[in-house]
Amino acid sequence: MRASVNQKLTELGERERLKELLRAKLTECGWKDQMKAHCKEVIKEKGLEHVTVEDLMVEITPKGRALVPDSVKKELLHRIRAFLAQHAT
Amino acid sequence: MEDMPLSGPDNTKLEALVHDIYSELVEDACLGLCFEVHRAVKQGHFFLDETDQESMKEFEIVDQPGVDIFGQVYNQWKNKECECPNCKRLIAASRFAPHLEKCLGMGRNSSRIASRRLATNNNMNKSESDQEDNDDLNDNDWSYGAEKKAKKRKADKNQNSPRRSKSLKHKNGDLGSITSEPYKYNYNTGISYETLGPDEVRSLLTTQCGVISEHTKKMCTRSQRCPQHTDEQRRAVRLFLLGPSASSLPDADAVVESDNFELPDGQTLMSRLQWEDSPDISPTDSASSKASTNHSDSRKPKKKRTSLGLNSGGGSLTGGCSSSSGSSQNNINLSTKKKRPKLSAPSISRT
């Protein structure tokens, strides 16, 4: 079932729409700037020359997940549920 | 709450699915950010706004009371005064532009106001003591001239003046307090006769009332027809100031009344003779002779003078006019009604 749901999400373009929506909301609420500031600290720590994507990922992702505001989270969940309700078999 | 097509135990699965999808989306966003930052770092433009510590301190956001975020005080020009290059006076900053307009005579209304002021000043006093700077009156801010204008010329309002309401306001205020404190508004209240020389006193007395106030010891600067003082008072002042031999009161009334007035001196005859002679020296009203004869004759419409005034006025004005009947009628109206502005306006326009 999961696979079919995922497939539908992608096929109907809903995944892209959800992605864009999330990005817009995160920028709007200041999440992106917060994360960027955190990145700066990490980079200063690690040294400008030797920073890698993996380093950043390891540092950023958990914090990012935690910092998403509740309103954004709720809205996204709502939309996903609505989609599933509409298109689930 | 929601319409779930699936049954109970599947709900949790569904919820889990929903949350999974959500987590995927968030991770995607984070990854996107990481890539962006990493690329910026490697290309060297990530830390561009932090390179110069000095300038960063210089442009820091200011958070003090009374000052905006750039550190500027917003009302620092409110109380400043600027020196006018023309009249060398200190003018408030917000009043500076209109003042310059009037002072230099270059604004939209400045010429209008200046000619109006000239017209009325020709009728009113010309003493030195009343000399404020010309631009003061031009300013049309409250000034001594405006007070007189407001009080006497109710009919003649400059329709183009932007300050019309302001002069009206002053008029209302003036009328209210005119009986109690007549000199309250004047900062050039009156003249102290002690400081003036005999010539100045004489010229003053030919144009102004001149009666010395009990409380302030100053001379009244209103016109000869000032309602607060009687002609007897005026004559007494002239006697007091100029001596019985040098009085210059040109009033025809004085001539008529001098028969009843008892002078302590034996020079009564001398003074009477001088008064009778002087009516022709009508006060220096204006440059134009026509205007001055009109003014002097029609301003004192005594019985023996009205006919003279009418004839001379009619004659002098009709000469320059197309419609003779109209102008002579105007003259008759003007001389009997004693309204100075209407007098001055036609005479100036016709000459």
- Average pLDDT of chain B, as a whole number: 64
pLDDT interval class at B245 (50, 70, 90): low
Residue B323 has pLDDT above 50, yes or no: no
Query: How far does A8 lie from chain B, in Å, by closest CA?
Result: 12
Q: A39 and A51 in contact (C-beta within 8 Å)?
A: no
- Does residue B212 sit in helix, strand or coil? strand
Q: Which residues of A fall within a CB distance of 8 Å from B14?
A: 81, 84, 88
Exposed/middle/buried for B178, CB within 10 Å: 0-12, 13-18, 19+? middle
Q: How far apart are CA B10 and CA B84, in angstroms?
A: 88
pLDDT interval class at A17 (50, 70, 90): very high
How confident is the model at residue B174, as a pLDDT?
45
- Across the interface, whether the CB atoms of B22 and A56 are under 8 A apart is answered no
- Comparing B39-53, B88-102, B193-207, B326-340, the range with the smallest average pLDDT is B326-340
pLDDT interval class at B314 (50, 70, 90): very low
Please report where in the chains the tokens 């009418």 appear, as a residue.
B310
- Across the interface, whether the CB atoms of A53 and B34 are under 8 A apart is answered yes
How confident is the model at residue B35, as a pLDDT?
92
Orientation angle between helical segments A2-11 and B8-43, nearest 10 degrees: 50
How confident is the model at residue B54, as a pLDDT?
74
Q: B158 and B164 in contact (C-beta within 8 Å)?
A: yes
Candidates A64, A77, A81; nearest CB to B30 = A64
Q: B211 and B229 in contact (C-beta within 8 Å)?
A: yes
Residue B310 has pLDDT above 80, yes or no: no
How confident is the model at residue B8, as a pLDDT?
64
- Across the interface, whether the CB atoms of B33 and A88 are under 8 A apart is answered no
pLDDT interval class at B319 (50, 70, 90): very low
Query: How far does B29 lie from chain A, in Å, by closest CA?
Result: 6
How confident is the model at residue B288, as a pLDDT?
46
Percent of chain B surpassing pLDDT 70: 46
- Across the interface, whether the CB atoms of B30 and A65 are under 8 A apart is answered yes
Residue B188 has pLDDT above 70, yes or no: no
Cα dihedral value B229, B230, B234, B237, nearest 10 = -70
What tens digit of pLDDT does each residue of B91-111 get?
Answer: 888 888 888 888 888 778 777
Residue B227 has pLDDT above 60, yes or no: yes
- Across the interface, whether the CB atoms of B37 and A56 are under 8 A apart is answered yes
Query: How far does B141 lie from chain A, in Å, by closest CA?
Result: 55
Averaged over B253-262, what is the pLDDT?
Answer: 47
Averaged over A35-57, what is the pLDDT?
Answer: 87
Query: How far does B32 lie from chain A, in Å, by closest CA?
Result: 9
Candidates B27, B29, B37; nearest CB to A23 = B29
* Best of A52, A61, A70, A72 to mutate (most B CBs within 10 Å, chain B): A61
- Across the interface, whether the CB atoms of A76 and B22 are under 8 A apart is answered yes
Q: Which residues of B fall within a CB distance of 8 Å from A26?
A: 29
* Best of A8, A43, A58 to mutate (most B CBs within 10 Å, chain B): A43
Beta bridge partners of B302: none
ipTM score of complex: 0.93
- Across the interface, whether the CB atoms of A60 and B33 are under 8 A apart is answered yes
How confident is the model at residue A26, as a pLDDT?
94
